Structure formats: structure tokens, C-alpha cells
Amino acid sequence: MKNTTIAVHGGTRKDDTFGAINEPIYMTSNYRIPTDGTPVDWSGTHSNIYQRNRNVNQMVLQDKLCAMTGAEDCAVFASGVAALSAVFTTFLNSGDHAIVSEVCYSATNLLFRKYLPEKYNIEVTLLDTTDTEAVRAAVRPNTKLIHVETPGNPTTGVSDLDAIAEIAHAAGALLSVDATFAGPVCLYPLRRGADLEIHSMTKYINGHGDSLGGCVLGATKLIDEIKELAMVNYGGILSPFNAWLIARGLVTAPLRMRQHSENALAVARWLEACPAVRFVWYPGLESHPQHDRAVRYMNGQYSGMISFDLNGDEAAHQRFLNALTLVTHAVSLGDVESLIVYYDKSSDKLPHYPEIYREGFFRFSIGLEDAEDIIADLEQAMKISGIL
């Protein structure tokens, strides 16, 4: 079946007692333990015992994610950061070395710059993973994990997953890939040699801006380790209601990603031609530094994330934000509505980004509005702010 069909029908329905088409929400903290001799997995990762270990709505969501990505198994968590932390704390031990995308989500950056080295004695090399040879040169005898974010947040840099998977496996390390910026349809890291695929489900998987969640996909052996440590014993479980909301959103993900991608390409092309724009990066543009990789990896859909900047000082940038009427000034991404946030010169992250970003820039999440309306809002805000 095609992915649009799998999104609707994939996975296993857990309860058809009353013939309901939609899965119920199972608001229970406990489950009845069998007394008929049925084997019970007291770890709770393969038996329903207690909601922190496993709940039915979680299982429905995991099954659908596996059906859509081809993963053997999946673990879902209360947030994207919980999913990332689950991977890092499960597979990295004191004295291990990790290679990590320097351009990455702020919580990932902080975990590897501060908490994991200081609290757990984990050695870390942060570098530009779009530079494959830099990744190769950073490998050490104690390298246990290479973590890549692609496209990178917020610069949209695209890493060469095929080559990095070979590097990781030759070193006896795992490759984990945060593909949140690509969503669940535009990129399939597991098919490119990744051992673990991670998403903040808050973004494109849910798609409606109304619930938090994170997921890790991969081989059952690896996912079982993650579930036992991070889900059962760290307790980062996803609630049944949020699991239900995200599963509902996931049904339309292929349709939404198609529209996000079409809109973003139209907006990016308009920005590229606009004299008020200092630069624009979008993987679907031929001018993007890793466009050829994006063509190879992203299946003709380049998601909805654009980074760009305008000519003018910071006051002009703020006037532009204030003049927007359709596009919302807000963090996060992947919602049905367009969201924009500005990184000014005071951001401590700018030194880690490509040089063109260091004067400040916008991260722009393109929504599902008509592309012409998004462009019209940008144009009128540029004119009001005096930039155009």
C-alpha cells in the first residue's frame, strides 16, 4: 500500500468490542493481570500491567508509526526531548564518545555541551555533520554513537546519511538521526542505514499544535533497551490522550507534508527573488548548499522549513515581525498555520551556525494556508517595515 493508505489503515487495531471505527481513549492507570496461566512480562514492556510501562493508545500509535516507516519497533515518549534523552542515556555510558551535529535543536545542544559531559563523563565532539570527512576524522576507539540532525534545526543543512552510516558501523557505533524537520514522510533514515530514527511528534507527526510527544524507531532489540530504561524506569511515558491526539494527526501526515512542501517551495522561490532578502536556505532550492543530497534523500518533498534573513537592522526586523497578520510570531514548527521566529545577534547559538547566519535570521515554518496568501503577508510586512 502507498503511504497515504498506510497512514489511514496501517497498524493494529487494539479493541473492536463495540465496533467503533475510531480507537477509544483508554484512561486507565492499571490493567487486570491474567490468572489463567498466560505468561506475564513483569517488566511491562510486552504486557499491559501499568500505564507507565505501556498503554493501549501508545501501542496503537507505535504500530502506525512502524507501518509508515518500516521500523521493527517504536517507543513513544512525553516529548521530543524525552525521546532524545532516552536514546542518549540508554546507549552512552561513562567514558564513551559521541559525535553530534553542531547545528541541532537547543536541548540536544545543551545535553551534549553541558549535562552529558559534566554529569556522566561522556566525551563529545560537536561538528558540522554536513561535512562527511569531518565526521570520519572525529571517530575515536571509544566512539559509541553518531547523532545527526537532518535537515538541521534551524539551518536546514542536509547530511549524507549513507556515508555516515558506513562510518558509524565501521567504528562499531550506532547512528541515530533526528528527522523532525523532515517529518515522517519526506525522509526515511532507517532505509539509509540509521539504527535509530527520532522525531519530536509535537511537530509534523501531530501537525496540529495541540500535544507534545516524541518517538524513537528502530530494531526491536534496541527499542526494548530504550523502553526498559527510559520508559519504565525513567518514566517518560506518553499519556493515552496525547497518544490518541497524535495518532489522529498522523493519519493526515502524508497529505499535510505534501502541502507543506509545495507551499514552502513557492515561498522560498519568492524570497529568493525578493530584493529585500539577504539570503534564503531551503533544501528544495537549487541554491541550497546540499540541494543534491536533498534530491537524493527527500523523495521530492523538502518539508516546510525555511531559514532566511532580510536586509536591515534589528529594529527593521522587529517592525517586520510586528507587521505580519497571517503568519504568527511563535516558536515550534510543523503546525497547520505558518509560524516564524527571529534569532537576533544576541543569540549564543549563532557562532555554531554557518557564517551567513551570524548576523541573525528567521526560522520560518510554512503552514497549510494558500502560498499566495503567505507571500502576500510577507510582502506587505516588508513594505510596512520599510525593508521593501
What CATH number is attached to the domain comprising 308? 3.90.1150.10
* Domain housing 230: 3-250
Under the banding of pLDDT at 50, 70 and 90, the label for residue 348 is: confident
> Of the candidates 228, 250, 272, which is a domain's last residue?
250
Domain total in the chain: 2
User: Do 222 and 315 belong together in one domain?
Assistant: no
So what's the pLDDT on residue 22?
A: 84
Burial class (CB in 10 A: 0-12, 13-18, 19+), 36: exposed
**Quick one: average pLDDT of 144-150?**
98
Q: What's the pLDDT at 15?
A: 67
Query: What is the reported pTM?
Result: 0.95
**What pLDDT, in 10s, does the model give residues 255-301?**
999 999 999 999 999 999 999 999 999 999 999 999 999 999 999 99
Residue range 20-25: mean pLDDT, rounded: 86
Give yes or no: residues 196 and 59 share one domain: yes
Indicate whether 271 and 322 sit together in one domain: yes
Q: Answer yes or no: do 31 and 131 share one domain.
A: yes
Instruction: Based on the fold, state whether residues 173 and 261 are members of the same structural domain.
Output: no
- Residues 155-186: tens digit of each pLDDT: 999 999 999 999 999 999 999 999 999 998 99
Q: Is 210 in the same domain as 315? A: no
pLDDT of residue 158: 98
Residues known to be catalytic:
52, 105, 178, 203
Structure confidence by residue, pLDDT tens digits, 73-125: 999 999 999 999 999 999 999 999 999 999 999 999 999 999 999 999 999 99
Pair 202, 350 in one domain: no
Reference 158, options 258, 260, 307; nearest CA is: 307
Per-residue pLDDT at 199: 98
Q: Verify that 47 and 149 share a domain, yes or no.
A: yes
Distance of CA 322 to the CA centre of its chain: 28
176, 309: one domain: no
Q: Which of 186, 215, 250 is the last residue of a domain?
A: 250
Same-domain pairing of 207 and 272 = no
Asked whether residue 58 falls in the same domain as residue 188, the answer is: yes
Single out the residue in 250, 267, 290 at which a domain terminates: 250
* CATH number of the domain residue 90 falls in: 3.40.640.10
Kindly give, in sequence order, each residue whose CB lies less than 8 Å from that of residue 47, ignoring residues fewer than 6 positions away.
Answer: 40, 41, 54
One domain for residues 17 and 128:
yes
